[in-house]
Structure 1
């Protein structure tokens, strides 16, 4: 499991790390199946959880809660250190009062995004959406929000909404706003582009079926199924692998010693 986690920090072109991911994924699946048959639900659940997402992609507080709810810390002695580490980590990140304002602003931001997204995907006619976009363009000063509205109008450009959320998160934080960091974000749009592709694909994995049932537009999974004739299960795996490859691009920025972020 540790090697599996480490493989998610790989960069493009690192064949040994890619081989490590394939090797550990194969054996974790075998562990999950064999332990399930043996009734060892705790080890099986750990393997399943590791295959779903690596730790550093998860929300620490939710991960700590899962450890507690399933009782792994009590059933498996070697899990206790991880349980405690996850809990302490989440307490340090989630409950620090200096981030309260940032969390409130981001909550409002995502609420607005969700409403506007549903208007464009489900409820508005083309004529209504065009009027809405024109109205927003006349009244909005904040260019990232305007870009987001325009991006919704052309669904193929969905990734342009990413800068708005990223900049909102940065500007509403408590750390000093540093010009060098703003310049880096402005001149390195790729990291925002890849990050939000990952976000949208991950969102599709979790909600696409429900959204299709309520009349939403096809998501990445349905598009891949239509284009290739693949099953939904195969499409899920394809999208997950796309995300993993995109993470390698993001990792390059995380590993860059010259990055000011």
Structure 2
């Protein structure tokens, strides 16, 4: 649904195909950090991604090697597509975005492994990146190929409001839907837990109310960006970001799962 929503215009059929490749990898890498790697393995994995050196994957388990190879191949394919379409090589920006995403995943893996509950501000700083909205938007920016300049790339890599706001909406709505398993130990990865530790006199309901207020503020910032001139980005890129936030809202109206009739309505009506 991400590709269909964020690149919805008919002429972007090939772009949607390309976008689904990193989308799929985001879910796979997220699972590696959540389930399929020890902390030591995850540190090696993150370093291999950041170095972007095939030779550095030799020490990784086989499933991580396969993932690294797929990441290299897919990123090179997208870079080639962008260069062919728009005469700009985005490989350095794409590599940095993947490295940054894995860094954020690793920070959260360390919190979970140690049982550390971060301060709410510390959590959000990482969570806005680990939501992967920035990773999605970087790919979309280059796939669209509109207003690509050094200035716009520098601005893009600085996590501007037009990206950080939908990222915050995604993470906070996801966290509102989380219910901690009573048998789980350590940090469960939600803003709610961070907020309650920082504010022990607050009730769960008041904490949720606070989070909903933060989501509303993020929507206001995003709407302001999209209604004003989105410079240095194009209107179409701003619309993609807005549509991503709209999809998040729709997803969590159904607890993260679309009923079949809702999918059919979105696609065909």
Q: Give TM-score, length-normalised by structure 1.
A: 0.52
Contact preservation (8 Å) 2:142, 2:148: no
Q: Which residue of 2 aligns with 1:70?
A: none
Quick one: which of 195, 201, 226 aligns to 1:224? 195
Q: 1:190 aligns with which of 160, 164, 170?
A: 160
Unaligned runs of at least 5 residues, structure 1: 1-58, 62-89
**Distance change >3 Å, CA 179–CA 135, structure 1 → 2:** closer
Alignment of 1:237 with 2:190, yes or no, is no
Q: Does 1:177 align with 2:130?
A: no
> Deviation at 1:243?
1.0
Q: Deviations over 1:18-68 (max 9, x none)?
A: xxxxxxxxxxxxxxxxxxxxxxxxxxxxxxxxxxxxxxxxx9x9xxxxxxx
Q: Deviations over 1:53-105 (max 9, x none)?
A: xxxxxx9x9xxxxxxxxxxxxxxxxxxxxxxxxxxxx9xx85x5323333333
CA RMSD of aligned residues (A): 3.4
Residue in structure 2 matched with residue 209 of structure 1 by the alignment = 179
What is the CA–CA distance in structure 2 between the aligned matches of 1:213 and 1:171, rounded to whole Å?
A: 44
Structure-1 separation of matches of 2:215 and 2:100: 24
- Contact residue 49 and residue 98 of structure 2 kept, 8 A: no
Question: Are the aligned partners of 1:194 and 1:249 in contact in 2 as well (CA < 8 Å)?
Answer: yes
1:168 to 139, 148, 161: 139
Q: CA deviation at 1:197?
A: 1.7
User: CA contact under 8 A between 1:212 and 1:218: conserved in structure 2?
Assistant: no
Q: Does 1:153 align with 2:106?
A: yes
Q: Give secondary structure in 1 for the equivalent of 2:224.
A: helix
Residue 158 of structure 1 deviates from its aligned partner by 3.3
Shift, 1:242, TM fit: 0.6
Deviation at 1:252, TM superposition (A): 2.7
Q: Distance in 2 between matches of 1:143 and 1:256?
A: 29
Give the one of 103, 111, 121 matched to 2:24: 111
Contact 2:50 2:98 in 1 (8 A): no
Which one of the candidate residues 132, 150, 171 is aligned to 2:45? 132
Report the CA distance between 1:185 and its aligned residue.
Answer: 5.4
Q: Taking structure 1 as reference, are residues 102 and 235 closer, same or farther at Cα in structure 2, changes over 3 Å only?
A: farther
Could you tell me which residue of structure 1 aligns to residue 227 of structure 2? 255
Partner SS state of residue 170, structure 1: helix
Supply the distance in 1 between the matched residues of 2:106 and 2:139 (Cα, whole angstroms).
21
Q: Residues 159, 128 of structure 1: CA spacing in aligned structure 2 closer, same or farther, 3 A cutoff?
A: same
User: Whose Rg is larger?
Assistant: 1
In the superposition, the TM-score normalised over structure 2's length comes to: 0.51
1:197-219 CA-partner distances (Å, limit 9, x unpaired) = 2221122223x227887777331
* Residues 138-147 or 123-132, more deviating: 138-147
Cα distance in 2, alignment partners of residues 214 and 105 from structure 1: 37
Higher relative contact order (CA 8 A, sep 6+): 2
Question: 1:253 offset after TM fit, Å?
Answer: 1.6
